[in-house]
Amino acid sequence: MTHESAAPGLSKFDPLPRIIFADDFDAGINGWTELIGNYEDTLDSVLEPYRDHRPPQLSTLSMWDTGSVGSLEGMYALKVATRPKKGHQAVTIKRTTFRRASPIRVETFFTFKPEAAELRLGDQTPRSFGFLFDLQDDTERVMPHIRYLNSLDGELQQKWQFKRERAPFSQIGGSGKTVSHYHLSPEGWEDIPNGGQKLCYNEIATKHNWHYLRLDFDLESMRFLFFQCNDRIFDVTGLDSIRNPAMPNLWCMLNVAFFVEADADRRVFGYLDSVVLSGDF
Amino acid sequence: MRSSYTAVVERNVTVRGVFTSEPYECGWAGEAVVFVRSLAGSLSGTHARVQISPDGMSWCDHGTEFALPAEGTVTACLVTHFGNWLRIAADTGNREATIIVTLQLKE
């Protein structure tokens, strides 16, 4: 039986033979939660940028002028929403582990928009939409990061970037067992070669078009394999990830996260219709 | 099995005076319990109003109010027929506290 005949909703994806998870948000939150920084004894010990990444929401993309959009397929999408504050990031994460160091593939249909609080296009309001893996094998913690830099300080950028620069670790609390590093910091992003892409933003803030995204990554070599958004394929094989020595409690970690960032003092919303993670085993 | 979900819409936030929680979209839920827990400081004698919205931007009172907590305690209220959006609004005057606001949502 093919994946498509077993689950017709999968026919819009190109998964590898093993479906690790296929999350349709019409069926609920599916393990996607808010990212929070590490802490000991008090929440005050969380690194400041990690304190408020916002809980995900099951959204019908409800608009003031035309009502509910719904998701690409069905009623609900997973929504991550920033505060109305320039530079604020909302991050949702799903945490699992891997059983085979194989190639993996994450696919999603996504869109992003500012809150329609002004009757203007608002295309420069979302700073970025992005995603990351957080992985660990026997020797290294590896964190592939990719983002679509839509706008920076009010200027459209419309290009894909990656990150390999390590953020410094901070000791958290007094036990000596907890550290934290802000890997989503604004610093250290680099352009993906030939990574420019104009996405279909549409003509007002309350119209949404869904975009297809696919990233392949090899858990054995810990290298990028393939990256696609809509009709564009980007060569990521020469790119690297954030790498650190293996950490004590993260063996076989396989985390996937999506984030959205505001470039103005307005809320920005990132939406996921569905997410499929598959493996070649 | 009924779906349920707990959303922490404000965490370790210090409030004093006029305060609103971030909007939360939860039209899938038929009922909600709104909790406010004090981590430090007392909001005794003040109240929060549950608010609803047609679009997540324009807000009006739902008609449900509840007392805000004394230091180290938690208060709650029960809400139904809230449509698609929820938040709380309060004016704590000169009282200041660091709080967690939690929505427990159920289908």
Residue A4 has pLDDT above 90, yes or no: no
pTM: 0.97
Using alpha carbons, select from A263, A260, A215, A261 the residue that is nearest to residue A241. Answer: A215
Contact B57, A115 (CB under 8 A): yes
Q: Between chains, do A55 and B54 touch, taking CB under 8 Å as contact? A: no
Give residue-wise pLDDT tens across range A131-159.
Answer: 999 999 999 999 999 999 999 999 999 99
CA A175 to chain centroid, in Å, comes to 31
Contact A205, A108 (CB under 8 A): no
Q: Between chains, do A51 and B57 touch, taking CB under 8 Å as contact? A: no
Q: Which helix (H) or strand (E) holds A252?
A: none
Using alpha carbons, select from A162, A252, A245, A234 the residue that is nearest to residue A194. Answer: A234
Of B3, B12, B22, the CB nearest to A28: B3
- At A2 the pLDDT is 66
Q: Between chains, do A64 and B57 touch, taking CB under 8 Å as contact? A: yes
Please, what is the Cα angle at A145 between A143 and A146, to 5 degrees?
160
Low-confidence spans in chain B with pLDDT less than 50: none
Q: Specify the CATH number for B4-106; select among 2.60.260.20, 1.20.1300.10, 3.40.50.300, 2.60.120.260.
A: 2.60.120.260
Q: Is the ipTM of this complex over 0.90?
A: yes
Give residue-wise pLDDT tens across range A238-259.
Answer: 999 999 999 999 999 999 999 9
Structure tokens, A55: 């809980």
The full set of domains in chain A, from first to last, is: 20-279 (2.60.120.260)
Average pLDDT over chain B reads 98
Asked if B27 is an interface residue toward chain A (Cβ–Cβ < 8 A), one would say: yes
Of A29, A43, A59, the CB nearest to B12: A43
List the single best residue of A62, A63, A269 to mutate versus B (max B Cβ within 10 A).
A62
Q: What is the mean pLDDT of residues A35-63?
A: 95
- At A7 the pLDDT is 73
Place of tokens 């099951």: A58
- At A9 the pLDDT is 79
Give residue-wise pLDDT tens across range A6-31.
Answer: 677 799 999 999 999 999 999 999 99
Q: What is the mean pLDDT of residues A159-187?
A: 93
- At A150 the pLDDT is 98
List the single best residue of B11, B53, B101, B105 to mutate versus A (max A Cβ within 10 A).
B11
Give residue-wise pLDDT tens across range A54-83.
Answer: 999 999 999 999 999 999 999 999 999 999
Contact A277, A114 (CB under 8 A): no
Residue A1 has pLDDT above 60, yes or no: no
Asked if B39 is an interface residue toward chain A (Cβ–Cβ < 8 A), one would say: yes
Residues of A in contact with B28 (CB under 8 A): 58, 76
Average pLDDT over chain A reads 95
